[in-house]
Amino acid sequence: MMESKMEKQMVSVDEIGDSRCIKRDTVYKWISEKGMPAHKMGRFWKLKKYDVDEWVRDGNSGDFKEDDENWKVLLIEEELHKKMWEVG
């Protein structure tokens, strides 16, 4: 079965947690209690990194204030990494 373009853009709860240095339980909490943008696909939640980053930037996570600077650093590093691949 071929994956749709939308499915390729989406990542798992674990991938979001790992790439953004947040606990898996926090991701689930934000999905259920704070409306983090996520889509249920079968038994699993899938998320788009861009949508999640926008959601955090807009201050929707609420309890992530202390680590906001860490999140910004991760976003900047990811953008730099993308640009390096575009150039090289």
Structural domain boundaries, residue 45: 10-87
Listed in sequence order, the residues at least 6 apart from 35 whose beta carbon sits closer than 8 Å to its beta carbon are 60
Stretch 63-83: mean pLDDT:
63
Does a structural domain hold residue 54?
Answer: yes
pLDDT at 66: 46
Q: What is the CATH number of the domain that holds 36?
A: 1.10.1660
In a domain, 65, yes or no: yes
Distance CA 13, CA 41 (A): 12
Residues 75, 50, 34, 59, Cα dihedral to 10°: 50
C-alpha 11/C-alpha 4 separation (Å) is 13
Q: Classify residue 36 by burial, with Cβ atoms within 10 Å: 0-12, 13-18, 19+.
A: buried
Question: How large is the angle between the packed helices 13-20 and 24-34, nearest 10 degrees?
Answer: 110
Count of the separate structural domains present in the chain = 1
Mean pLDDT of 68-81: 66
Residue 44 inside a domain? The answer is yes
Residue 67: inside a domain, yes or no?
yes
Does 5 reside within a domain?
A: no
Q: State the pLDDT at residue 88.
A: 52
Specify if 31 maps to a domain: yes
- For residue range 7-38, what is the model confidence (pLDDT) as tens digits? 558 899 999 988 888 889 989 999 998 899 99
